[in-house]
Amino acid sequence: KDTVDIAAPGVDVMSTILNNQYKKYSGTSMATPHVSGVAALLKAYDPSLNYAQLKERLITTTKPLAALRGKTSNGLVSAYNALMNETGGI
């Protein structure tokens, strides 16, 4: 709980594999791209954000979920909240 700031979908995430097929994978390798994608989207939306500001925005705009209570120090990454700089909600 004290070391995980942001949660992201990471269980049974569909991924492409060889020969135009798909397979479900789980773990941080599946969750990390969600957070990285929101960070890239936010940086493209507001290029003036420095590293510390970007990190702070990602953390403070997470979506609280009851299922994550006690598992993360914040909540689920939210592209909408990050772009709108809204805490909680959607």
pTM of this prediction? Answer: 0.84
Separation CA 59–CA 48 (nearest Å): 18
Tell me how far apart the alpha carbons of residues 74 and 4 are, in angstroms, rounded to a whole number. 8
Tens-place pLDDT, residues 62-90: 998 888 888 887 889 999 999 999 986 55
pLDDT of residue 42: 97
